[in-house]
Amino acid sequence: MQSPAKILVIDDDSEIRYSLERVLSARQYAVSAASSGEEGIEQAEQESFEAIFLDNRMQGMSGMEALQHLRSVAPNAMIILMTAFGTTQTAIEAMKFGAFDYIIKPFDIKKVLSLVERAVQAHRDLVDSATEHYSPLLNSEDYKEGIVGDSDPMQEVFKMIGQVATSDVTVMVTGESGTGKELIARCIWQHSLRAKKAFIAVNCAAIPDNLIESELFGHEKGAFTGATNQRTGKFELCDGGTLFLDEIGDMALPTQTKILRALQEGEIQRVGGEKVIKVDVRLIAATNKNLERMVEEKTFREDLYYRLNVMRIRMPSLRDRLSDVPALVDFMLQRLRKDRKTRVRRVSAEGLEWLTSYPWPGNVRELENTVQRCAVVAQGDTILTKDLPKEIIDFVAARRPESDLVEGPSENKKLSSSSPVEPLADDVSPALEPAVSEPDAFVGGLDSELDCEGLLDRLYSKLRENVDSNLLEELEREMIRRVIAETEGNQVKASQLLGITRATLRKRLSQYEIRY
């Protein structure tokens, strides 16, 4: 038998707490109560609740404030805001901050019960779908390295790392911006015999030419105007360790000469100094420039090029390994969650399909920024297509067939099989799918308008809440109104579509005062 659903009531009014406790306990719910937002949040942190009744107006923390906290400490709890005044403003705010629903005081017991029933069911659906479908692509152990990539090109990169890590050879990492060159450099260092010694990264492009030598080799006091003290350079500081020279293609020729000497002879001189200092540094260099061309154009020293290019790791562009996108997204979301920067757990299946079809000119860095931005705008715990940046929406829209574009790209308007948007790349194993194949409907308990089952559930409970409100009539009126609009007042077509005779249609049109 299922254990009783746990409900938390947060209200500073003891009468409300008492009456809700009484009503709900009588229906076998396990009810807890808190008399302030702060207390409620504390309880929700310690225990998980299926549903939380939250008063909007309380002494101290307001309901709306508490709602936002609760959404992050108890993302799966269905929160029902209780308000004395049913203003549109409150309703919009409550829903915007992820409330399941709101109820106006004083309340009708029947309404409360039906709302709780619905909330508990929505919670179960959410949790079930999460446990059924949400299995992280990899567990956190697999992400320990902080580098994600199952695709063939990334597997090649990992193999190379394994080959070069424990030798002391100089490694050159090339690839477009944002492909993970620095990440790979750090990974090589972590797996090297020098792992316990320093890793220092210097971005050559960020330091002006006249300062780079001092930065790398240090200077003696008085070496140049402004050199008021002796300074130790990165080569010296990094003795025994690994120096990562990023954007090495941006380095001036004289500095290149000195680097070559440091590599070949293992010695440096501080700027303005006579003394030769022995250094033992392993160098890893990176660039997104075409060094071969630079050598041809004589802007990069050929001898340094060969000295650096002992081992070369070419980072694949993300568009050449789009099958890694789902795992990267999952990894990024896990990391954001760990840092408590988001409550988002996943991307909808369609959203992920879109992300996996985009060519990512800024590579993994761009994907990372996108995921961060989407995690901020997503309302529930799932990123939907509407949360994606405009450039992705436009990209997908441009590749859709005309007929799909009538109302622009929308969630649940699944890409047809003839859609030119590429499906997930073949090498994503089906085992990866469940993490993203969850319907988009359960977002913080809010039903997507287009989710039929959710819609029917809502309608049904509305019907039960308002038995005498002629819901069927309301439905019929709305349906006829829409069909008449769609058929532009053509009664023959409309009656066909509705499945009623023309006479009945006419009767209804006058009964509901629908005109076209």
Ligand X SMILES: Nc1ncnc2c1ncn2[C@@H]1O[C@H](COP(=O)(O)OP(=O)(O)OP(=O)(O)O)[C@@H](O)[C@H]1O
The residues that touch ligand X, with contacts defined as CB under 6 A, are: 147-149, 175, 177-183, 288, 328, 331, 364-365, 368
> Which residue number, 105 or 365, has a Cβ lying nearer to ligand X?
365
Q: Are strands 382-383 and 199-203 parallel, antiparallel or unpaired?
A: unpaired
Q: Which does 364 bind (CB under 5 to 8 A by kind): Mg ion, ligand X, none?
A: ligand X
When CB distances are held under 5 to 8 angstroms depending on the partner's kind, the choice from ligand X, Mg ion, none that residue 388 binds is none
CB of 100 to ligand X, least distance (A): 35
Stretch that binds Mg ion, among 11-19, 244-252, 439-447, 478-486 (CB under 5 A): 244-252
Report in angstroms how near the CB of residue 371 gets to ligand X at its nearest: 11
Q: How near is the Cβ of 33 to ligand X at its closest, in Å?
A: 45
CB of 178 to ligand X, least distance (A): 5
| Binding site partner of 439, from ligand X, Mg ion, none, Cβ cut-off 5-8 A by kind | none
Residue (365 or 462) nearer to ligand X, CB: 365
- Least Å distance, CB 194 to ligand X, is 19
**Span 246-285, contacts to Mg ion by CB under 5 A:** 246
Binding partner of residue 183 among Mg ion, ligand X, none, CB cut-off 5 to 8 Å per kind: ligand X
How many residues at the interface with Mg ion, by CB under 5 A? 2
- φ, ψ of residue 357 in degrees (nearest 5): -105, -10
Query: Which residues 453-492 are close enough to bind Mg ion by CB under 5 A?
Result: none
Whichever of 93 and 366 has its CB closer to ligand X, that residue is 366
User: Cis bond leading into 106, ω under 30°?
Assistant: yes
SS3 category, 82: strand
What tokens does 217 get? 């080799």
Beta strands in 65-143 (DSSP E): 78-83, 101-104
The DSSP secondary structure of 289-348, one letter per residue, reads S-HHHHHHTTSS-HHHHHHHTTEEEEPPPGGGGGGGHHHHHHHHHHHHHHTTS----EE-
* Comparison of 255 and 288: residue with beta carbon closer to ligand X: 288
Which parts of 12-71 interact with Mg ion (CB under 5 A)?
none
Q: Which of 182, 236, 465, 476 binds Mg ion (CB under 5 A)?
A: 182
Q: How far is the CB of 175 from Mg ion (least distance, A)?
A: 9
Q: How far is the first Cα of the chain from the last one, in angstroms, to the nearest whole number?
A: 55
**Pick 415 or 436: Cβ nearer ligand X:** 436
Instruction: State the binding partner of 465 from ligand X, Mg ion, none, CB within 5 to 8 A by kind.
Output: none
Assess contact for 31 and 7: CB atoms under 8 A: yes
Contacts by 257-263, CB closer than 8 A, 24 or more apart: 257/301, 257/304, 258/213, 258/216, 258/217, 259/216, 259/283, 259/304, 260/301, 260/303, 260/304, 260/307, 262/217, 262/235, 263/170, 263/304, 263/307, 263/308
Contacts of 394 (CB under 8 A, 6+ apart): none
In the bound state, the residue with its beta carbon closest to Mg ion is 182
Q: Are 438 and 448 in contact (CB under 8 A)?
A: no
By CB under 5 A, name the binding residues for Mg ion.
182, 246
